[in-house]
Structure 1
Amino acid sequence: MHAQQDCNAAKTQQIEVGLVGRGISKSRTPSMHMAEARAQGLSCAYRLHDMDDPTYANMSLAGLLDRLEAEGYAGLNITFPYKIEVIDLLAELSPNASAVGAVNTVVFRDGKRYGHNTDLWGFAEGFRREFGTEPQDHALLLGAGGAGVAVAHALIDCGVKRLSIYDTDQNRSTALARQVMRNRPQCMAQSVPDLDALVAQDPPDGIVNATPMGMAKLPGSAFPIRLLTSQMWVADIVYFPLETELLRAAAERGCRTLKGSGMAVFQAVRAFELFTGRPADPNRMKATFDAFDQ
């Protein structure tokens, strides 16, 4: 059965929302949304739909969306590995989602499904707050999947002029480099097949891990630890655990680091507004996130 947590708030407005993905049983997103709703006098339920749960063994993404829309959900957050797959199941995309080619928030309204991407703004907001003064001429992005496409565009919006992209599927990293240059022509983006060669010949100012590597269920580092230098800043979008192997090694070498909590909180801030029509308090949502045991 899916996990359920309910808001015990005034019944002036009942909101049903949820998260769809794999390996999400320990997500902090439900608590952030429900605490914020409670603070605003809303009654809500935020449910996890973990496709790794045997309950969903025979359920397709399309079938799940059909069911939840019929049940009256206001919307859904979408995470790994469905951010690109979900697009074919939607009626319209926001400008951000269309440019990025990935969706992490779906709103059900007036019989239609609208796709949004709050990851882009979420990562950019956390990045600016932590790395606003760091050198940003050249960044290395690890991962060209659904999260990576949002992070790539966010990095350019934050001032990165040259973006190197590494993915185990080089066709995907090449496609993302071309996409970024179409959408952000002020940037030079390239696919890189060899991380050792890149660091030796043109070391990046900073590194962002936008792969699931480092999650509790996928331990390890997508970037070779031996290539880290103290001059690099290092960011990770993984937030369970908050200190991934990559971030731990970076901190030991004296690098400035950015944990995945920034993107997690700020994308939720924007998603809450899309679900409810009300602005969220970022500090309040961050306090809820931080209340978890680290």
Structure 2
Amino acid sequence: MSETDDTALGQWLHDVLDLEQVEQDYFRGIATPQGRGRSFGGQVVGQALMSAIRTVGPERPVHSLHAYFMRPGDATQPVLFQVERDRDGRSFATRRVVAVQAGKPILNLAASFHVTEPGLSHQYQMPDVPGPEGLMNEEQLGEERADELPEEFLQWLRTPRPIEMRPVSVRPPFSREPREPAQAMWMRVRGNLGDDLEMHRAALAYTSDFGLLGTCMLPFGKGFSDRDMQFASLDHAVWFHDDFRMDEWLLYSMDSPWAGGARGFNRGQIFTQDGRLVASTAQEGLVRNVTLS
């Protein structure tokens, strides 16, 4: 992919997250460019977070969000976001956001904001994995294994996307080998996302939905393209620990402590290339095997 293509895709994501204010505390997110079918959950989370950010000053960056998915969204239609200003304290601010399509809520999000201040510090160490430079991205993996992959999945891989992902180890449907419920991938926004750090946090919220839910299915060799499986995010949480840039490589390290009852629980840690832990995630989702229903 050329540098020009990367620039256009980076601008694509910026436009998706750069909401229009239609009234005080009401914002509109554009439909997914060339979108079809159900909305990508990470996009709705990222837009909802950006609507909350727009009602808080830059002196209090967002430090956490918690979202619940209630209905599938329509990728071909815009989304209206209504923000409630629950509290503006000296150190913290809290916001609630409802995302609405066709007059019905599709997502609820709560976000908390905190002034930057000094404090005692520690963190987990970044996993010892190969760097992104020697790894293939998912598009390249798809072309290498094109004869083995479902056509629908190949079409999805061949659709230009603003996020480049390079798995440290291949996952379904690239490989069906059952393994421990843990994986890691390098990720970044293609092109340049600009210098607004809150835009980078919204972009991380968008990206954090990629791959996380599938972690709990690694012991079974199952993936999103499998016709006997039904996947859906139920809730999603992100904690932002430090500043970062989404247009630079970040390592997304994921694991799943539990799956059962047609649900799976997954966790993630996000590191910069120099080893700083900058965010953590958690998600539970529907992982229904329709042949067992």
TM bracket (short chain): under 0.3
1 or 2, which has the higher helix percentage?
Answer: 1
Superposition TM-score, scaled by structure 1 size: 0.22
Superposition TM-score, scaled by structure 2 size: 0.22
The higher relative CO (CA closer than 8 Å, separation ≥ 6) is in 2
1 or 2, which has the higher strand percentage?
Answer: 2
